[in-house]
Amino acid sequence: MEVQTLKYPAVRNYVAGQSTPDPDPGTATLDVFSPLTGALISTVPLSSAAALDAAVQAAQAAFPEWAGTPIKERVQIFYRYKTLLERDLQALADLVREENGKTYDEARAEVEKAIELTEFACSLPQLIAGEVLEVSKGVEARAERKPLGVVASIAPFNFPNMVPHWTIPNALVLGNTMVLKPSEQVPLSAVKIAELLQEAGLPPGVLNIVNGGREVVEAICDHPGIQAVSFVGSTKIAKVVYVRATSNLKRCVALGGAKNHLLVLPDAHPDMTASNVAASMSGCAGQRCMAGSTMVGVGAVDHIVAKLVEEARKIVPGQNLGSVISREARERIEQHITEAEAAGAKILLDGRNAVVPGHEHGYYVGPTVIDHVRPDMRIAQEEVFGPVLAILRTNTLDEALALENASRYGNAAAVFTQSGSHARYVMDHASAGMIGVNIGVPVPREPFSFGGWNESKFGACDITGKSSIEFWTQLKKTTVKWNPESRVNWMS
Ligand code: NAD
């Protein structure tokens, strides 16, 4: 039998500072394909609960020394790590592009965001200084933030480098040790992250990586040695993880899917709105939880829709539009378009059957704009996760807000208008955690935190920024009293 040489070595778990040996013969592996070309580039093990247990044990062994290291020392590793990310930015971006299918610019932007997240973690010593107060005569109360212990982070496919950075720097700087479970569809970036952290001086066992799918995730939710679980992925799995982890008495934040509404008013700036909406729906091939996948046109906005289609036409698969993640994803997205058409919506720009010359086996969908979508259609309700914009029409802003409010999701919403009072009204009444005014992808940059509402997030805290401090730490409150009479006169 011909042995195929893969572009990247078979992915291994990373435990106690080392790549683990070949998985046990019983461990299944999954092929990893580059969605740009459809080529097989690596394999990833579908690890067992036993492999997870080994990683948890390594993280438990590393915890006392790591938690006992002053935060001012822990953070030095992340200052060094940031410079290593900057040094290797292009190589890291190339890897993201290859395993995820992004354009060069999108892949670079993802790694730049990872650098910003690391930069924020470096500021944590300034942010978590404790509190102290004399609460009664001679009695002092103090509150300090302490790490939780071993924590876990479960990632999706759409940001192989950035999403692990939502959790790793903050959780680790705050004194926890971690098991990371990358998406089995994009396991390569995490290997590089571990290598660079090791180069920066992270002690063995502080970060461990266990690859796999459902079995490892369930084992994470059940493992008694794990104190907290963060999850990013679809709403369906976020619910399962949240219920299972919290029923095992762990804290959990589980970010889910999205259906972000962009409300376009007739007074919106036509050029700015058209280019923003087109970029929001098509960036990262629509595979962003912040993608504006639903536009609600209020009143007379035909002139903006026409410009939007013009803008979207300039987005070309294989040039300034990357691939979607898999053949199955492409089929699902095309099915959504076909169903909407059959249900009576009007396709203004059709991205089905896109072919990129030279990359005929890649998974591409062209930008797609569908007008006159009705709220009862599947495409108006479900997350499509492709470069597809569904346009709904209403006569009033209140009707548009009612559509936005009716969505089960609530990650982001945006309004395009030149009227301050209309913008304010949407800011107050949209049911979403992240709001944009004339911004199609309103990601709150550090130190603000990232997190949606409704079925886009389960759990009390956000996953990044200041809010994540609460998630990754617990407060220790100490009350201190010394007997003032017990002073000794050392001189007598
Ligand atoms: P997914 O839910 O399929 O997978 C996410 C993680 O869950 C992966 O690590 C996967 O291995 C694991 N998993 C998959 N099936 C499982 C099962 N049955 N039981 C236990 N674990 C399982 O999500 P995805 O397709 O990788 O990512 C895309 C989704 O993530 C989209 O819905 C997107 O909106 C969402 N997302 C949300 C945010 C956010 O901030 N809200 C950010 C990024 C992505």
Same domain assignment for residues 242 and 123:
yes
Residue 4 confidence (pLDDT):
64
Residue among 183, 284, 287, 407 whose CB has most ligand 1 atoms within 8 A, to mutate: 183
Domain count, the chain: 2
Strands 228-232 and 368-371: unpaired
Same domain assignment for residues 340 and 252:
no
Structural tokens at position 116: 């910003």
- Report, as residue numbers or ranges, the catalytic residues: 289
Same domain assignment for residues 87 and 108:
yes
Structural tokens at position 241: 């993880």
User: How far out from the chain centre does Cα 253 lie?
Assistant: 12
Same domain assignment for residues 414 and 391:
yes
Q: What separation in Å is there between the alpha carbon of 156 and the centre of ligand 1?
A: 4
Q: List the residue whose alpha carbon is closest to atom 38 of ligand 1.
A: 289
Same domain assignment for residues 30 and 176:
yes
Residue with tokens 């994540």: 468
Same domain assignment for residues 272 and 380:
yes
Same domain assignment for residues 248 and 178:
yes
Whether the predicted interface score ipTM is above 0.90: yes
Instruction: Give the amino acid at 354.
Output: A
Same domain assignment for residues 237 and 266:
no
Same domain assignment for residues 187 and 298:
no
Same domain assignment for residues 235 and 282:
no
Determine the 3-state secondary structure of 269 from DSSP.
Answer: coil
Q: Is residue 165 part of a domain?
A: yes
List Cβ neighbours of 87 (8 Å cut-off, separation of 6 or more).
none
- The domain in which residue 396 lies consists of 261-437
pLDDT in tens, the chain (492 residues): 445 689 999 999 999 999 998 776 778 999 999 999 999 999 999 999 999 999 999 999 999 999 999 999 999 999 999 999 999 999 999 999 999 999 999 999 999 999 999 999 999 999 999 899 999 998 999 999 999 999 999 999 999 999 999 999 999 999 999 999 999 999 999 999 999 999 999 999 999 999 999 999 999 999 999 999 999 999 999 999 999 999 999 999 999 999 999 999 999 999 999 999 999 999 999 999 999 999 999 999 999 999 999 999 999 999 999 999 999 999 999 999 999 999 999 999 999 999 999 999 999 999 999 999 999 999 999 999 999 999 999 999 999 999 999 999 999 999 999 999 999 999 999 999 999 999 999 999 999 999 999 999 999 999 999 999 999 999 999 999 988 777 777 776
CATH code of the domain in which 45 resides: 3.40.605.10
pTM of the model: 0.97
CATH code of the domain in which 356 resides: 3.40.309.10
Same domain assignment for residues 292 and 336:
yes
Per-residue H/E/C for 148-169: CCEEEEECCCCCCCHHHHHHHH
Same domain assignment for residues 151 and 245:
yes
Q: Is the dihedral of CA 456, 460, 464, 465 positive or negative?
A: positive
In angstroms, the CA 427 to CA 424 distance is 5
Structural tokens at position 341: 């058409």
Residue 482 confidence (pLDDT):
86
Q: Which of 242, 191, 251 is nearest to 217 (CA)?
A: 242
Within 6 Å (CB) of ligand 1, which residues are found?
A: 154-158, 181, 183-184, 213-214, 217-218, 232-234, 237, 240, 255-258, 289, 383, 385, 411, 452, 456
